Amino acid sequence: MKRHQDIAIGIVILIFCAFFIYLSLQLDRGSAMMPLILLGLMSFLGVIIILDGFKKTRKATEDKPVEPFLTLQNMKVPFTMFFFICLYILMFFLVGYYIATAVFLFASMCYLKQRSWLIIVAVSACFLAFTYFFLVKQLNVSIDALGLLGTYLQMSNV
């Protein structure tokens, strides 16, 4: 029979706590006290989650099997989106903020099944205009200085 995922989650919690308890023990007494208390409590809750997982596994029947919270299949789409966001942030350093944002908005809207080119272009243009006029010009957010292109534009302004 499939085990309830709470068991695996509880084990991950215990490994996390063990690692940080080890690190806490390297600290002086005063600095370590609060983290150790909290890690102790978290370990205790981790054990309860594991026990609860076993209970749920025992309770499962053929009609009501254990339903996993996460499977590779159902994580594919959200983590592809997350991958897009990571790429977007990395692109700041390569092509600068504006191009990265335009590419990200275009690619992610296409990935999220937007088919109207006009809407994609209009939304991207409006967002970039808002960023430039409100955040960069009014609030002095220096995000446009990131990346090779940003550095070049900043230097040419000087």
Binding residue for another protein, selected from 9, 11, 21, 103, defined by CB under 8 A: 9
Least distance between another protein and beta carbon 124 (Å): 9
Q: Is 65 in the site for another protein (CB under 8 A)?
A: no
* 129 three-class SS: helix
Q: Is 77 in the site for another protein (CB under 8 A)?
A: yes
Q: Kindly report the length of the chain.
A: 158
| Residue 154 CB neighbour total at 10 angstroms | 13
Quickly tell me which residue has 């335009």 as its tokens.
Answer: 102
Interatomic CA distance for residues 43 and 38, integer angstroms: 9
Q: Is 94 in the site for another protein (CB under 8 A)?
A: no
Interatomic CA distance for residues 142 and 97, integer angstroms: 10
Binding residue for another protein, selected from 28, 64, 72, 155, defined by CB under 8 A: 28
Binding residue count for another protein, defined by CB under 8 A: 57
Contact (Cβ atoms closer than 8 angstroms) between residue 50 and residue 11: yes
Tell me the one-letter amino acid at 55.
Answer: K
Interacting residues with another protein (CB under 8 A): 5, 9, 13, 20, 23-24, 27-28, 30-31, 34-35, 38-39, 41-42, 45-46, 48-49, 52, 69-70, 74, 77-82, 85-86, 88-89, 92, 97, 101, 104-105, 108-109, 111-114, 119, 123, 127, 131, 135, 138-143, 146
